[in-house]
Amino acid sequence: MEKKPSNKKFIIVLGTLVILGSVYGIFKYMHAQAHEETDDAQIEKNMNPIIPRVSGYVAKVYVKDNDFVKKGDTLFVIDNKDYLVRVEEAKAALASAESAFEVSKADVSASAANISISDATIQSNVGNIDAAKIRLGRAQNDFERYENLYKNHSITKQQYEQALAAKQEAEKQVEVLQQQRNASAHQREAVVSKTNVANKQTSVAAANIKKAQASLEAAELNLSYTVITAAVDGQVSNIDIQPGQMVQPGQSLFYIINNQETWVVANFKETQLNKMREGQKVIIAVDAYPDIKFEGEVNSFSPATGARFSILPPDNATGNFVKTIQRLPVKIKLTPNNDPEKVKLLRPGMNVEVDVHVK
């Protein structure tokens, strides 16, 4: 029976494919031992929202979509007429509070002067009373002596009555002076009470000044908020405001993309994290620029899987459990070795492929 001739070309091709496949398989195995790769990764940058702090109508917009801005550049302004009026009202309130404070101080000074006058009057009354008591004592002695002489018929009745009148006049003088002293003391108490009230009014007036100053500062601060400026260098996007549009505090209007820092967030499977560590070298390939390779390093690992940060995180305790490999976000920072001009080409959200050198 005649044997069929063997196809040497087929055997050679098959052998070559087996060898190439083996070499490729060994290469991939060796590469997998030293590298972890994923294409579930995107470029990230800080996106600063532009949020007004005061309400009002937009007066003018100074930027348009995709403009580059510097820190401090004016983006748009809010009509400030109402806020200017509030500043003037606050200034008037402050002037009124300062005037009230000066009036209170004047009242305190006047009351203090009245207290001094009352003290001087009281001291004068005390001196007059002492002098009147001395005169009263002398008149009393004279009266007693004249009274004895009158009983002995040594003096006339007229002389006796003159001594009696002198004694009574001295007694009356002491009584009048004592009444004046009491009146001065009551008057001093009234002045002291008025002074205490004036002091309290001065304290209230001083507090009103601080309150008016705070109101003025708040009004001036709100006035400054009518000019919205860029907080960082970057590029603006999604500007959808127009002059005449009403904006509210806390309303997010558009964004400034901060070009100062660029990083990558790569979502690795949990089974890939065993050998990954912070500081490991990373090669980044951007889909938009396949001819450019960027260098980075592992910066940090998320404290939880991406699913845990979703609006409705999965709960394995409900329903039928199906084990699913989870992904953990890993932050990769670009190193300073990259060309800054090429880094500027990167935009947030661009898809990239990352290769982490774990060995």
Rounded to an integer, the average pLDDT of 239-253 is 91
CB 30 within 8 A of CB 355: no
Domain assignment present for residue 73? The answer is no
Check residue 311 and give its pLDDT.
81
Q: Which domain holds residue 96?
A: 82-224
Domain assignment present for residue 108? The answer is yes
Q: Is the pLDDT of residue 103 over 60?
A: yes
Check residue 333 and give its pLDDT.
95
Q: Is the pLDDT of residue 292 over 90?
A: yes
Final residue in a domain of this structure, among 173, 201, 224? 224
104 and 195 share one domain: yes
CATH number for the domain harbouring residue 143: 1.10.287.620
The rounded distance, in Å, linking the Cα atoms of 268 and 322 is 20
Helix, strand, coil share (%) of the chain residues, nearest 5: 50, 25, 25
Domain assignment present for residue 237? The answer is no
88 and 217 share one domain: yes
pLDDT tens digits, residue range 110-145?
Answer: 666 556 666 566 666 666 666 666 776 776 776 677
Q: Is the pLDDT of residue 310 over 90?
A: no
Check residue 294 and give its pLDDT.
95
159 and 279 share one domain: no
What distance lies between CA 251 and its chain's CA centroid? 19
Domain assignment present for residue 102? The answer is yes
CA dist list (Å): 214 to 7, 55, 220, 225? 99, 20, 10, 16
Question: How does residue 198 score in pLDDT terms, banded at 50, 70 and 90?
Answer: low
Residues with Cβ within 8 Å of 127's Cβ and at least 6 positions away in sequence, in order, are: none
Exposed/middle/buried for residue 163 (C-beta within 10 Å: 0-12, 13-18, 19+): buried
264 and 219 share one domain: no
Rounded to an integer, the average pLDDT of 102-112 is 67
Domain assignment present for residue 209? The answer is yes
**Residues above pLDDT 90, as percent of the chain:** 43
Final residue in a domain of this structure, among 181, 199, 224? 224
Final residue in a domain of this structure, among 179, 208, 224? 224
Check residue 285 and give its pLDDT.
95
Model-level pTM greater than 0.85? no
Query: How many domains does the chain divide into?
Result: 2
Domain assignment present for residue 70? The answer is no
13 vs 47 pLDDT, higher one: 47
Check residue 199 and give its pLDDT.
67
Rounded to an integer, the average pLDDT of 327-343 is 93
Average pLDDT score, the chain: 82
Check residue 75 and give its pLDDT.
95
The rounded distance, in Å, linking the Cα atoms of 137 and 166 is 11
Rounded to an integer, the average pLDDT of 163-169 is 72
216 and 263 share one domain: no
184 and 102 share one domain: yes
321 and 205 share one domain: no
211 and 143 share one domain: yes
pLDDT tens digits, residue range 323-334?
Answer: 888 999 999 999
105 and 199 share one domain: yes
Check residue 1 and give its pLDDT.
44
Check residue 277 and give its pLDDT.
93
Rounded to an integer, the average pLDDT of 208-235 is 92
92 and 138 share one domain: yes
Q: Is the pLDDT of residue 346 over 80?
A: yes
Domain assignment present for residue 99? The answer is yes
The rounded distance, in Å, linking the Cα atoms of 243 and 246 is 9
Check residue 332 and give its pLDDT.
96
The rounded distance, in Å, linking the Cα atoms of 278 and 332 is 9
116 and 164 share one domain: yes
Domain assignment present for residue 162? The answer is yes
99 and 212 share one domain: yes
CATH number for the domain harbouring residue 324: 2.40.30.170
Check residue 5 and give its pLDDT.
52
**Residues above pLDDT 70, as percent of the chain:** 76
Question: How does residue 165 score in pLDDT terms, banded at 50, 70 and 90?
Answer: confident
Of the ranges 50-59, 189-198, 280-289, 309-318, which one carries the lowest mean pLDDT score? Answer: 189-198
Residues with Cβ within 8 Å of 40's Cβ and at least 6 positions away in sequence, in order, are: 266, 267, 268, 327
